Amino acid sequence: MTLGGNQASLKEIISPYLEIAGIFSVALATTEGLLVSVAGENEARMEAVAALAAGSLTNIAALAAELGNHLRIMGFDFHRQGLIIAPLTREVFLILLGSEDILELIKPSGI
């Protein structure tokens, strides 16, 4: 993928998520928990978040399969923090970490 004719780094590709109100960290990680790319605040902490999120993703995807469904996106509402995990491929997922308000991004309308 290119941006403005130059080869874009993964960090450049994910950084625009930081422009969304309330998001302060964004990362790409593998389902094995390896951090692929990270941008935003506290990048060192995101390595641990990626590893733990991979385990959650695996378990919730298995639960969805047991229910005859598939996982589209997960949101976690922590005290004053929100976490969104979205599978992009079978091997890579997106992590958005920010204020609890970011969960509005995935909240179905009418709830």
Q: For position 97, which CATH number holds? A: 3.30.450.30
Say how many domains are in the chain.
1
pLDDT in tens, the chain (111 residues): 444 545 569 999 999 999 999 999 999 999 999 999 999 988 888 999 999 999 988 898 899 999 999 888 999 999 999 999 999 998 999 999 999 999 999 987 655
Residue 29 domain boundaries: 2-102
108 part of a folded domain: no
CA distances from residue 36 to 39, 97, 99 in whole angstroms, order as listed: 11, 16, 23
pLDDT for the residue numbered 42: 83
Predicted TM-score of the model (pTM): 0.85
75 part of a folded domain: yes
pLDDT for the residue numbered 1: 47
19 part of a folded domain: yes
14 part of a folded domain: yes
107 part of a folded domain: no
- CA 94 to CA 28: how far, in whole Å? 5
pLDDT for the residue numbered 110: 56
85 part of a folded domain: yes
pLDDT for the residue numbered 70: 86
Q: DSSP secondary-structure letter at 110?
A: T
32 part of a folded domain: yes
